[in-house]
């Protein structure tokens, strides 16, 4: 279902954080990867080289973190 927010709760849940890395195009989500805990450069490079690189390149534009004009 597009346009709905996924909401859920588990009483007393002590689970850890899960990070989501994704690529969006005008057509929607292109590629996504979840990682338990936080991410770093190695995790991002794994996402790019193993998941994103296999997708069509027509949408691809990489914006370095913190360098937006």
Higher-confidence residue: 54 or 63? Answer: 54
**For 43-56, what is each residue's pLDDT tens digit?**
999 999 998 888 76
Burial track 18-35 (b if 16+ CB lie within 10 A, e otherwise): eeebebeeeeeeebebeb
Query: What are 50's two structure tokens?
Result: 């193993």
Look over the chain and give the mean of its residue pLDDT values, rounded to a whole number.
Answer: 78
- Listed residue (21, 25, 10) closest to 58, CA to CA: 25
Q: Given pLDDT bands bounded at 50, 70 and 90, which one contains residue 1?
A: low
**For 21-39, what is each residue's pLDDT tens digit?**
988 877 788 889 999 999 9
Domain boundaries, the chain: 18-56
């Amino acid at each position: 279902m597009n346009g709905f927010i996924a909401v859920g709760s588990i009483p007393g849940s002590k689970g850890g954080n899960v990070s989501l890395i994704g690529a969006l195009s005008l057509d929607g989500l292109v590629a996504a990867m979840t990682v338990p805990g936080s991410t770093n450069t190695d995790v991002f490079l794994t996402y790019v080289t193993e998941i994103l690189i296999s997708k069509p390149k027509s949408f691809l534009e990489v914006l370095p973190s913190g360098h937006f004009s």
